[in-house]
């Protein structure tokens, strides 16, 4: 993936956009610079895109990864950053130091995020089942493992002193550990995709960009209820504001957070459909909508989840994916497009339920297809 670095040089200058840009992989996270005058976006292939005063220090964009990148964090001085992959592999750039990873571990579920300690001397990585792994000077204060059996954990954020942290689930549930205080959960019906600390409180962001503030965190606005080109995938706090990012790289700035350009309007490269799947394998609008709801319930809107037991946005077991993927799609559901995953789900439903239009109810889905 090419590196796109942009800087706002004058108030009248047009800020960069992603219109006409074709990304090799979707954007999955962002991180602001310490002074809030810039930010990075990271794609699932590890490609880094820098805006404002954010500097490029390297990426995995040209590296063959075992698993896709799912998150990033910057160092306290903004002169480096970490990327984390779905298997817990950690990649350090600039002045970011490598303190360890879970890449060699046998994980129950995929890693979904990374959080650094306040001094940059360590970090935590968190899995979708709530497991927390601490490295460097990061301390383990507990985890949400087993606390959210029906909704995956989507991220974590630490308290200002680093002596605690919160975890958030896709259904809005929040779990507090160490000196972190529980201040509330997100409303039902708004699939949460990220959490970000603000002082002693925190904010949750939903798939539509809706923001929910708790524990003294200030609400500055959101895109909730608006029509977006792409779903929101994450958020990050600045001193007196916050940023949200969509999977096409669109950036939304609130409070005093500055907007310095984005990849909004970009498209993600989609390889041509395999010849074996070209004829008579389309999915209907009804099937698409039904399985989109399952994706939100299963994985909080993420489609590139890659766990040791289940993969993709619909929680396919590796055995079922291998059995029903007769179309020449990627061997791992996490690397298939959403439409490809839904097509395999339709084949699964036809075989097991005798109905190509069958799909679990949004509120009753269960991991294990």
CA dist 30 and 269 (Å) reads 20
User: What number of other Cβ atoms are within 10 A of residue 329's Cβ?
Assistant: 22
* 18-268 fold: Methylamine Dehydrogenase; Chain H (2.130.10)
Are the CB atoms for 330 and 336 separated by under 8 Å? yes
pLDDT at 178: 98
Band (112; pLDDT cuts 50, 70, 90): very high
Task: Name which residue leads in pLDDT, 281 or 71.
Answer: 71
pLDDT at 147: 95
18-268 and 275-353 agree in CATH topology? no
3-state secondary structure of 175: strand
Band (198; pLDDT cuts 50, 70, 90): very high
Structure tokens at 101: 């990873």
Band (8; pLDDT cuts 50, 70, 90): very low
How large a percentage of the chain has pLDDT more than 90? 54
How large a percentage of the chain has pLDDT more than 70? 91
Residue 107 has pLDDT above 90, yes or no: no
Residue 1 has pLDDT above 80, yes or no: no
pLDDT at 292: 82
Query: Which residues, at least 6 apart from 226, have a Cβ–Cβ distance to it below 8 Å?
Result: 208, 209
Short-list 111, 57, 102, 59, CA closest to 79: 57
3-state secondary structure of 93: strand
When pLDDT is averaged across residues 208-221 and rounded to a whole number, the result is 96
pLDDT at 289: 80
CA dist 222 and 220 (Å) reads 7
Helix boundaries (H) for 181-325:
285-299, 318-324
When pLDDT is averaged across residues 181-197 and rounded to a whole number, the result is 91
pLDDT at 361: 64
C-alpha dist (Å) from residue 288 to 42, 326, 345: 27, 19, 10
Q: Fill in the DSSP letter of residue 219.
A: P
Q: Which residues of 231-257 are buried (b: 16+ CB within 10 A; e: fewer)?
A: bbbbbbbbeebbbbbbbbbbbbbbbeb
Band (250; pLDDT cuts 50, 70, 90): very high
Kindly report the pTM of this predicted structure.
0.77
Taking all residues of the chain, what is their mean pLDDT, rounded to a whole number?
A: 87
Task: Name which residue leads in pLDDT, 256 or 332.
Answer: 256
Radius of gyration of the chain (CA): 20
Q: Fill in the DSSP letter of residue 334.
A: G
Question: Which tens digits make up the pLDDT trace of 22-38?
Answer: 888 889 999 999 999 99
For the beta sheet containing 111-116, the strands, ordered from the edge strand earlier in sequence to the opposite edge, are 111-116, 122-127, 132-136
Are the CB atoms for 41 and 48 separated by under 8 Å? yes
For the beta sheet containing 232-238, the strands, ordered from the edge strand earlier in sequence to the opposite edge, are 232-238, 241-246, 251-255
Are the CB atoms for 166 and 176 separated by under 8 Å? yes
Residue 274 has pLDDT above 50, yes or no: no
- Structural domain spans, the chain: 18-268, 275-353
CA dist 238 and 257 (Å) reads 6
Task: Name which residue leads in pLDDT, 168 or 151.
Answer: 168
What are the φ and ψ backbone dihedral angles of 338, each rounded to 5 degrees? -55, -45
Structure tokens at 366: 């269960």
Helix boundaries (H) for the chain:
285-299, 318-324, 338-353
When pLDDT is averaged across residues 42-52 and rounded to a whole number, the result is 95
> Among the listed ranges 134-143, 256-265, 287-296, which one has the minimum average pLDDT value?
287-296
Which of 144-153, 300-309, 353-362 holds the top average pLDDT?
144-153
Band (288; pLDDT cuts 50, 70, 90): confident
Band (279; pLDDT cuts 50, 70, 90): very low
Selecting from 3.60.40.10, 3.40.190.10, 3.40.50.720, 1.10.530.10, what CATH number does the domain 275-353 have?
A: 1.10.530.10
pLDDT at 290: 82
CA dist 258 and 255 (Å) reads 8
pLDDT at 84: 97
């Amino acid at each position: 993936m090419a590196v796109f670095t942009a800087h706002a040089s004058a108030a009248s200058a047009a800020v960069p956009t992603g219109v006409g840009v074709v990304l090799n992989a979707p954007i999955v996270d962002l991180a602001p610079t310490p002074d809030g005058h810039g930010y990075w976006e990271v794609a699932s292939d590890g490609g880094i895109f820098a805006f404002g005063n954010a500097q490029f220090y390297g990426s995995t964009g040209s590296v063959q990864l075992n698993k896709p990148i799912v998150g990033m964090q910057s160092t306290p001085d903004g002169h480096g950053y970490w990327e984390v992959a779905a298997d817990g592999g950690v990649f350090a750039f600039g002045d970011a130091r490598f303190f360890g990873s879970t890449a060699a571990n046998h994980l129950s579920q995929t890693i979904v995020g990374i959080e650094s300690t306040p001094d940059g001397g360590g970090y935590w990585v968190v899995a979708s089942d709530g497991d927390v792994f601490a490295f460097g000077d990061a301390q383990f204060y507990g985890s949400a493992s087993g606390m959210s059996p029906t909704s995956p954990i989507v991220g974590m954020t630490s308290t200002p002193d680093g002596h605690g942290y919160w975890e958030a689930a896709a259904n809005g549930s929040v779990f507090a550990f160490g000196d972190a205080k529980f201040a509330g959960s997100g409303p039902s019906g708004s699939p949460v995709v990220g959490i970000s600390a603000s002082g002693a409180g925190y904010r949750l962001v939903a798939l539509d960009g809706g923001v929910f503030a708790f524990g003294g965190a200030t609400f500055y606005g959101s895109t909730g209820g608006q029509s977006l080109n792409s779903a929101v995938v994450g958020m990050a706090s600045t001193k007196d504001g916050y940023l949200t990012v969509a999977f096409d790289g669109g950036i939304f700035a609130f409070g005093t957070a500055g907007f310095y350009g984005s990849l909004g309007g970009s498209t993600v490269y989609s390889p041509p459909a395999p010849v074996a799947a070209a004829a008579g394998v389309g999915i209907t609008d009804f099937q698409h909508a039904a399985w989109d709801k399952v994706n939100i319930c299963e994985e909080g809107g993420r489609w590139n989840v890659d766990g040791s037991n289940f993969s993709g946005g619909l929680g396919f077991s590796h055995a079922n994916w291998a059995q029903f993927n007769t179309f020449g799609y990627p061997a791992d559901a996490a690397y298939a497009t959403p439409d490809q995953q839904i097509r395999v789900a339709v084949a699964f439903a036809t075989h097991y339920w005798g109905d190509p239009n069958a799909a679990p109810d949004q509120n009753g889905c269960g991991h294990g297809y």
